[in-house]
Structure 1
Amino acid sequence: MESPKAADDGVASFAQEEAVALLELVRDTLDSLQLPLELPGAGEARKISRAAVGQLDDYILPRHRSLDAPLLAVVGGSTGAGKSTLVNALAGHPVTRAGAIRPTTRQPILLHNPVDAHWFTSTRVLPTLARVSGSLEGGKTPANRAGATPDATAMGSLVLVSDPAIPPGVALLDAPDVDSVAKENRELATTLLAAADLWLFVTTANRYADALPWNLLVDAAGRDILVAVVLDRVPAGAQEEISADLRAMLSREGLSDSRLFVVQEAKLDELGMLPAASVAPIVDWLAGIAADSAGRSEIARRTLRGAVRILSAKVEVVAHAAREQDAARRQLAEDVRASYAAATVRIGKATSDGTLLRGEVLSRWQDFVGTGDLFRAVESGIGRVRDRIGAFFKGVPPPAVKVETAIETGLLAVIVDQAARAAEDADQRWRANPAGRALLGVDDLAGVSPEFPEEVATQIRAWQGDVLALIRGEGAAKRSQARWLSFGVNGLGVILMIVVFSLTGGLTGAEIGIAGGSAVVGQKLLEAVFGEDAVRRLVKEVRLSLQKRCATLLERQQIRFLERIMLPPEGAQSLEDRLDAQALRLSALGAGA
């Protein structure tokens, strides 16, 4: 066999390199593909993707890299069709096991001429199958004991037999039955047929219309692979009738160009061999292919083009599945975000409409500011409030820590409750969706994570620290008010928090007068210390700080859902767009490979 030829020119070399680069890109994309959502058709798309990766590894990439490598002729067919007996006849002596026990071919045997050994001892083709060296044993071993001894532990191996009887340029591979009782045999047979440059399909006079082999033949027609059909064990006198019917079936399925060889029923000799004359036309046909290097190259290119076209169609199917996955992921993500967005709105309302100024917070606030002096200051006129506030604070103000603690407790309860409601809503939305239900499985996300309350408490304390930092920063710029800040930083911070919570929209009855009046007093105090513009700015900054911390807390809770759907990075090209582009390029490659 001649060595692989150098490209005729730089353009041809670049075209081949470009083709290999594209195929490697497709292979990597499919190999890393994840279709995690259980949508209709997702299982089939995963199966198609895995099969495509296998064929890229086993045939398409190796053949593109080595267009001058020997042709691999896979001998396949149904159980009991006589494949192994045919292979022995083509070699002229027993090389593979044949007999009545099923299945006879458990480990595929690849026959090649010694000069072609280097093409097959490496992992150029069928890289996932381990190589095992076989021997001819003088060619005198009966067919029922020939070939490799069946070894259940070596099912994933390829037995290589170097045989001078096989013409250089063509290798024969005896494959397991396509309808074997053993699942691993059926899967291996399908893998081997997908790696073939040409296919010798063996059937019998009473099995040629079986459905399963014809499904594989139709697939071969789609790949444009060269197929030769061997009609085995034809009774004397039935050749013309059966051959005519089989040719008509081949024509209907787009295989009218397939060669049809008829092997009449014959008695086997003492070694289990067919008469040489019965297979002479097939031997001559294979020898003719082997001797014609240009013809072999065209067969390889034809099969390769067909395989790439089929690959393009498979990538399109996977792209469609990826698009459906993306749409479903986005819907599931939108369901989660909508649930938590509603919680954000509810928290915002609860922290601005006076709802927090109830119960313990209201009681501690009243203890802190009192209910007499400050209210009388407000009632006696806004113009005198500064003096009244000053008089009030000439004494020692009540500690602010109790109000801070009450605010922390109240705010914690609001945030945890709303986060739990959001989680329950998101969980219910997902369970109403088959894809979401499959993602959740038996996990219960209808509540906050165990560590969430402590995270909230930490963020509330940090927010209160933000408030005090703002008070200190504002006081440092107003040296004339240093006496207020020297003993009232915490107190003024508490007052600022209360003002932030004091829009009173959620209060009713007497609460409005009490909490609202207290908040008005607090606002007037802050204005007396810092000025109206500064108070408006402080309130805005404090509210924004709280909103950001609440948003961060809820975003972390959403991750429990969102991490299950593996959303692509923002700005990244979508998987379906990449697959669509690759399918288009594969189609062009298949048209002119």
Structure 2
Amino acid sequence: MTHAPGPRAARAVAGRPDPAVADELGLTVYDVARDLRRDIEGVRLPLPIDGATQAEGSRGRLIAQLDEHLLPRLRELSSPAIVVVAGSTGAGKSTLYNSLLGEEVSQAGVLRPTTREPVLAFNPLDREVIQEGPATSASRVVFHDGVPRGTALLDAPDLDSFLADNRSTAQQLLEAADLWLFVTTASRYGDALPWQALSRATERGASVAMVLNRVPRETLATIRADLMLRLREHGMTDVPLFVVPDVGPHEGLLDPRTVQPVRRWLTLLAGPERSRAVIVRTLKGALGALPAWVTSLADAVEAQGEAAAAIRAAVERERPAAERLARDGVLAGVVAGASVEARWRELSGRAKVDRLKVKNGLARSTGRAGRKREEALDALRADVEAAASRTLVAAGGRVEERLRAVLTAPGAPAGAVAVVPDHAARTAARESTIVASVTAWSAQDADVVAGLGAGDDTARVAAAVKAFGPRGLGSLLLASAAGSDDAGRLLARVLGAAHTDAVATLRADLADRAAAVIDGEIDAVLAALDTPNLADDAASGLRVRLAELRRLT
């Protein structure tokens, strides 16, 4: 036996499949598998609906199968067929492995776990055709004359090892194998683990053989018959079964005659052509198993899209009523509230903003008095802006609460909990947006004042501007639009009907801004659904790959 200089075998992998077997598998297989891998990697299942967790698990297994076996093997078809010796703790697989080679190559004994480092053995004559892959990367590579040429024997860690890394490595190596040689014992073949592993092998189309180890001679026929029945019940009638009699306590290798049937079977697989047949058979089995998996995943993706559509519909149903409520509140003139009324009383008493003479419809005031009123009315403007902000914030908060109820109450659409708005994030975003919106609303007053009056109203407007200043007059218009009756009565005294359209315009604009707040809350929820993973055609790539796979298989 000779050891490789490092953990990896000889040379780097070519980027395309071996052309020598192009007629058997077709040059397009690698491309289809590569494209499938890319599309599966892009799949996300963001909504927690029924079946999503299982579909995510299937997605992970599909990626593992493509990464650990299909893609590497399609690139490495000339490399020896990898036979992985796998099993549960204490099944005796390392002893069987060493006995097949006729030498202690892999550690065996009573301490658990014995197989801490995977061992991958090749025939020395295969050195030049070995390609680097997942199995060589994860294992200690050795060369041994006891390995039939064209095959490689891999002793994997226990599938049920108490070390998580060992369990993970064992699963990875099983995915990389061309053939599973599963070892169990007469006392443990009924456990769940062997059948879970064998079902997984069948699921991905892998070739499997089974070794029933340590069988008492007096019960050999009974146990063998029972195991054959179980294999038939699991649809594994063609699985080769080897029975190794119990030889009692012992150390070292098994008697060569005991393992001769397994060694003879491995020899039948030997040689470039026969081992390639094993590889191709497993590849075809794996490819044949893919459509069912891909179909299931595509169905899960489409179910996500259907759930997203139901959530969108439920959220959109809230928009009309919420917008109407927000608009109606502003248009009803309820924005100003107590704070604005209190400010008006203060300004009326201290600054006497409403104490001026009006003669023949014209306000009478000096420019100096007008500037004082204008300055005093800045406090009213600030209170109006604060009241408008509170109104819009409250409207947005009510919608957020309503959406939370719609998305979490009994009868909510499946998966809706995933898009429930985050209260802290929405509050911060809402307040920031509303401050900017109200500031923009208030800033319109200069244009509104400039557009006041025409013809006979020109003199009245000019007199009002002198009495309050342009900004002060704008503050009165904003207050009236927010619902201040006091501001409205004062404007009627100094402007007559000229202010009516201006107040209506400002009030309608604020109502639009209130509706925009509602839209912002609803659109924030819908934005969480605005992802390619939840689009109507999200599964189209997988469906294309599925059609390609079916043409191949």
Under a length normalisation based on structure 1, what TM-score does the superposition of the two structures give? 0.72
Question: Which piece of structure 1 moves more, 300-309 or 493-502?
Answer: 493-502
The yes-or-no answer on 1:278 pairing with 2:291 is no
- Please give the residue correspondences for 1:322-401 in structure 2 after superposition, counting only pairs within 5 Å: 322-326=301-305, 344-356=323-335, 358-361=337-340, 367=348, 370=354, 388-392=360-364, 397=370, 398-399=373-374, 400-401=377-378
Q: Within 1, Cα distance between the matches of 2:543 and 2:118?
A: 33
The yes-or-no answer on 1:546 pairing with 2:510 is yes
Q: Within 1, Cα distance between the matches of 2:69 and 2:325?
A: 60
Q: Within 2, Cα distance between the matches of 1:216 and 1:576?
A: 36
Residue 586 (structure 1) aligns with: 546
The yes-or-no answer on 1:406 pairing with 2:388 is no
Q: What's the offset of the Cα at 1:96? A: 1.0
Alpha-carbon spacing, 1:353–1:331, altered in 2? closer, same or farther (3 Å): same
Q: What's the offset of the Cα at 1:278? A: 2.4
Residue 100 (structure 1) aligns with: 110
- Please give the residue correspondences for 1:147-296 in structure 2 after superposition, counting only pairs within 5 Å: 157-236=138-217, 238-266=219-247, 272-293=252-273, 295-296=274-275
RMSD: 4.5
Q: Secondary structure at the match of 1:227?
A: strand
Alpha-carbon spacing, 1:12–1:197, altered in 2? closer, same or farther (3 Å): closer
Q: What's the offset of the Cα at 1:211? A: 2.8
Residue 201 of structure 1 contacts residue 228 of structure 1 at CA under 8 Å; is this kept in 2? yes
The yes-or-no answer on 1:15 pairing with 2:28 is yes
Residue 530 (structure 2) aligns with: 568
Q: Secondary structure at the match of 2:84?
A: strand
Q: Within 2, Cα distance between the matches of 1:301 and 1:544?
A: 74
The yes-or-no answer on 1:461 pairing with 2:471 is no
Residue 41 of structure 1 contacts residue 321 of structure 1 at CA under 8 Å; is this kept in 2? yes
Q: Within 1, Cα distance between the matches of 2:429 and 2:49?
A: 33
Q: Within 1, Cα distance between the matches of 2:544 and 2:429?
A: 49
Q: What's the offset of the Cα at 1:364? A: 6.2
Q: What's the offset of the Cα at 1:448? A: 6.6
CA offsets per residue over residues 17-58 of structure 1, 9 Å max, x none?
A: 53143233234224xx353x5444443333332232222211
Alpha-carbon spacing, 1:427–1:117, altered in 2? closer, same or farther (3 Å): farther
Q: What's the offset of the Cα at 1:10? A: 11
Question: Which piece of structure 1 moves more, 322-331 or 418-427?
Answer: 322-331
Q: What's the offset of the Cα at 1:457? A: 3.8
Q: Which amino acid letter does the alignment assign opposite residue 348 of structure 1?
A: R
Question: Which piece of structure 1 moves more, 409-418 or 38-47?
Answer: 38-47
Q: What's the offset of the Cα at 1:95? A: 0.9
Q: Within 2, Cα distance between the matches of 1:560 and 1:417?
A: 17
Residue 70 of structure 2 contacts residue 283 of structure 2 at CA under 8 Å; is this kept in 1? yes
Q: Which amino acid letter does the alignment assign opposite residue 281 of structure 1?
A: P
Q: Within 2, Cα distance between the matches of 1:16 and 1:543?
A: 67
Residue 6 (structure 1) aligns with: 19
Residue 335 of structure 1 contacts residue 429 of structure 1 at CA under 8 Å; is this kept in 2? yes
Q: Mind listing any 5+ residue stretches in structure 2 that lack a counterpart?
A: 1-9
Q: What's the offset of the Cα at 1:231? A: 2.5
CA offsets per residue over residues 498-553 of structure 1, 9 Å max, x none?
A: 56456x9xxxxxx6xx67756766874537xxxxxxx85x6676456535544555
Residue 81 of structure 2 contacts residue 150 of structure 2 at CA under 8 Å; is this kept in 1? yes
Q: What's the offset of the Cα at 1:253? A: 1.7
Alpha-carbon spacing, 1:163–1:540, altered in 2? closer, same or farther (3 Å): farther
Q: What's the offset of the Cα at 1:205? A: 3.2
Q: Which amino acid letter does the alignment assign opposite residue 85 of structure 1?
A: T
Q: Within 2, Cα distance between the matches of 1:279 and 1:342?
A: 79
- Please give the residue correspondences for 1:15-94 in structure 2 after superposition, counting only pairs within 5 Å: 15-30=28-43, 33-35=44-46, 37-94=47-104
Q: Within 2, Cα distance between the matches of 1:93 and 1:79?
A: 21
Q: What's the offset of the Cα at 1:213? A: 0.5
Q: Within 2, Cα distance between the matches of 1:184 and 1:464?
A: 65
Q: Mind listing any 5+ residue stretches in structure 1 that lack a counterpart?
A: 132-156, 375-386, 505-510, 528-534
Residue 112 of structure 1 contacts residue 171 of structure 1 at CA under 8 Å; is this kept in 2? yes
CA offsets per residue over residues 80-107 of structure 1, 9 Å max, x none?
A: 2221111112212111122223332222
Q: Secondary structure at the match of 2:434?
A: helix
The yes-or-no answer on 1:299 pairing with 2:278 is yes
CA offsets per residue over residues 164-202 of structure 1, 9 Å max, x none?
A: 321332111112233334444344333322222111122
The yes-or-no answer on 1:445 pairing with 2:416 is no
Q: Secondary structure at the match of 1:248?
A: helix
Alpha-carbon spacing, 1:17–1:60, altered in 2? closer, same or farther (3 Å): closer
Question: Which piece of structure 1 moves more, 357-366 or 228-237?
Answer: 357-366
Counterpart selection for 1:109 from 119, 124, 131: 119
Q: Within 2, Cα distance between the matches of 1:352 and 1:582?
A: 52
Q: Secondary structure at the match of 2:158?
A: coil
Residue 77 of structure 2 contacts residue 279 of structure 2 at CA under 8 Å; is this kept in 1? yes
CA offsets per residue over residues 307-360 of structure 1, 9 Å max, x none?
A: 344444334444444445555556666666777876544332222112235545
Q: Secondary structure at the match of 1:165?
A: coil
Residue 73 of structure 1 contacts residue 197 of structure 1 at CA under 8 Å; is this kept in 2? yes
Q: Which amino acid letter does the alignment assign opposite residue 468 of structure 1?
A: A
Q: Within 2, Cα distance between the matches of 1:262 and 1:104?
A: 23
Alpha-carbon spacing, 1:453–1:230, altered in 2? closer, same or farther (3 Å): closer
Q: Within 2, Cα distance between the matches of 1:56 and 1:17?
A: 10
Alpha-carbon spacing, 1:267–1:425, altered in 2? closer, same or farther (3 Å): closer
Q: What's the offset of the Cα at 1:291? A: 1.4
Residue 6 (structure 2) aligns with: none
Residue 421 of structure 1 contacts residue 447 of structure 1 at CA under 8 Å; is this kept in 2? no
Q: Within 2, Cα distance between the matches of 1:305 and 1:12?
A: 8
Residue 178 of structure 1 contacts residue 213 of structure 1 at CA under 8 Å; is this kept in 2? no
Residue 495 of structure 1 contacts residue 522 of structure 1 at CA under 8 Å; is this kept in 2? no
Percent of residue pairs identical? 31
Q: Which amino acid letter does the alignment assign opposite residue 463 of structure 1?
A: W
Q: Within 2, Cα distance between the matches of 1:336 and 1:327?
A: 14
Residue 98 of structure 1 contacts residue 104 of structure 1 at CA under 8 Å; is this kept in 2? yes
Q: Within 2, Cα distance between the matches of 1:473 and 1:119?
A: 88
Q: Within 2, Cα distance between the matches of 1:485 and 1:11?
A: 94
Alpha-carbon spacing, 1:227–1:476, altered in 2? closer, same or farther (3 Å): farther
Alpha-carbon spacing, 1:363–1:309, altered in 2? closer, same or farther (3 Å): same
Alpha-carbon spacing, 1:458–1:444, altered in 2? closer, same or farther (3 Å): closer
Q: Within 2, Cα distance between the matches of 1:575 and 1:207?
A: 48
Q: Within 2, Cα distance between the matches of 1:388 and 1:118?
A: 112
Residue 319 of structure 1 contacts residue 576 of structure 1 at CA under 8 Å; is this kept in 2? no
Alpha-carbon spacing, 1:290–1:473, altered in 2? closer, same or farther (3 Å): farther
Q: Which amino acid letter does the alignment assign opposite residue 83 of structure 2?
A: A
Q: Which amino acid letter does the alignment assign opposite residue 291 of structure 1?
A: G
The yes-or-no answer on 1:125 pairing with 2:85 is no
CA offsets per residue over residues 389-448 of structure 1, 9 Å max, x none?
A: 4355787544243442332132122123323333333444455469666887xx982897
Residue 492 of structure 1 contacts residue 526 of structure 1 at CA under 8 Å; is this kept in 2? no
Q: Which amino acid letter does the alignment assign opposite residue 546 of structure 1?
A: L
Q: Secondary structure at the match of 2:188?
A: coil
